[in-house]
Amino acid sequence: MAEQNVYILAIESSCDETSAAVVRDGKVLSNIIATQKVHERYGGVVPELASRAHMQNIWPVVDAAITDAGISKNDITAVAFTQSPGLLGSLLVGACFAKGFAQALSLPLIAVHHMQAHVLAHFIDDQPEFPFLCLTVSGGHTQIVLCRDHLDMEVLGETIDDAAGEAFDKVAKMLGLPYPGGPLVDKYAKEGDPLRFKFPMSEMKDYEFSFSGIKTSVLYFLQAQRKADPEFVEKNIKDICASVQYTIIKMLMTKLEKAAKQLDIKHVGIAGGVSANSGLRKAIKEAGEKNGWKVYIPRFEYCTDNAAMIGVTGYYKFLKCSFADMTVSPSARATWQ
Ligand code: KG4
Ligand code: ZN
């Protein structure tokens, strides 16, 4: 595509990362992420503290994104922000900032769906062919998404209860690990035996998932084991992490393979925070070799929450003139657009 010099300033504030990026013609010029450490000691995200931290971070993060991109704010063509889903107080900070910025510089405003942006993170470094099948696994969602075009997506199935990331984090908490525990479970799992302990896999219909069962079974398992040996977790943490991770990945990959086979799709990817998991990255590569897929895995910095993916989505929406008006307001839970 010819150079258009469309500069999108993107803002992401749906959970506990305050992020801003500048994207030119779909290419990322800067991507600044301020991760909020304040939640660590509480074992999970505290919504009010997240909103306050976004309030403190948002201007320095946006300023750094503009400076890092080597542009001035007068070069910006449009402002994109995460409208939904997420923590309402957190979303409000990003939305209000984006509106004020757009209004001050008379720029168009673009509202972005966070889960659509996770899928479009694949288009930052790559160009998957359509139809493209994406397993989006984050702290709040687990979805199999059929993409017919950049903005034409359908959720084929999702979790009916907990998300895969939530299962990682809750198991980590039971093991006494700090929030977010997913990356730590991944770290321990690398040195553990995935077949040492057996946990049940949920049998769900179609492309649905359920992760509340594994959480409960790990809880009861640990209670029983700790009764017999109070140091059971300390002695076996690597094997526990490897076995839990193995079970979660098996549930995810079984459904992804089923969907790809039934729909006869050969371009398949993973997205969202849990796509940073080394076991899942390895599993999709192996499934790709077995099934003849072209596999897409985002770079680490584009797996977990980031504004670059909001900027790329904003760019595709800009090309379709899909703008929001100044009455737009964020929503904690919004249907797929
Ligand atoms: O996409 P994301 O940053 O935020 C949401 O939209 O929810 O995903 C965060 C989730 C957390 O549950 C975190 O524990 C998980 O992604 N996560 C991981 C890994 N890195 C992040 N889970 C397993 N292994 C990892 N390496
Ligand atoms: Zn996310």
Which residue owns the Cα nearest ligand 1 atom 22? 182
Atom number, ligand 1, closest to the C-alpha of residue 304: 3
Amino acid 2: pLDDT: 58
Residue 334 confidence class, pLDDT cut points 50, 70, 90: confident
Determine contact, residues 88/332, Cβ cutoff 8 Å: yes
What digits encode the pLDDT tens for the residues 141-156? 999 999 999 999 999 9
- pLDDT score at 1: 56
Instruction: Report the share of the chain in percent with pLDDT over 70.
Output: 98
Of all protein residues, the one whose alpha carbon is nearest to atom 23 of ligand 1 is: 182
Whether 85 lines ligand 1, by a CB cut-off of 6 Å, is no
Structure-token match 């950049």, residue found? 150
pLDDT given for residue 336 in this prediction: 65
Alpha-carbon span 151 to 193, nearest angstrom: 41
Its pTM stands at 0.96
pLDDT band at 337 (very low <50, low <70, confident <90, very high): low
Q: Which atom of ligand 1 is nearest to the CA of 166?
A: 12
Structure confidence at residue 40 as a pLDDT band (50, 70, 90): confident
For residue 110, the cross-strand partners are: 80
DSSP 3-state of 193: coil
Share of the chain above pLDDT 90, in %: 93
Which residue shows structure tokens 């900070």?
93
Question: pLDDT by residue (tens digit) across 185-227?
Answer: 999 999 999 999 999 999 899 999 999 999 999 999 999 999 9
For the segment 88-110, the average pLDDT, to the nearest whole number, is 98
Q: Which atom of ligand 1 is nearest to the CA of 140?
A: 7
Give me the mean pLDDT over the 70-86 stretch. Answer: 98
Distance 73 CA to ligand 1 centre (A): 32
Q: Using CA positions, which residue lies closest to atom 10 of ligand 1?
A: 139
User: How far, in Å, CA of 199 to CA of 197, rounded?
Assistant: 7
Name the residue with the closest Cα to ligand 1, atom 20. 183
Sheet containing 27-35: order of strands: 27-35, 17-24, 7-12, 78-84, 109-113
The preferred substitution site among 138, 244, 270 for testing ligand 1, maximizing ligand atoms within 8 Å of CB, is 138
Quick one: the chain helix, strand, coil %, rounded to 5? Answer: 50, 20, 30
Distance 196 CA to ligand 2 centre (A): 32
Mean pLDDT (the chain) is 96
Q: Pick from 273, 249, 257, 303: which is nearest to 144 by CA?
A: 257
Q: Minimum-distance ligand to the CA of 272?
A: 1
Between CA 325 and CA 321 the distance in angstroms is: 12
Length of the chain: 337
- Does 48 score more than 70 pLDDT? yes
**Model confidence at 138: pLDDT above 70:** yes
Ligand 1 site-directed mutation target among 270, 274, 302, 313, most atoms within 8 Å of CB: 274
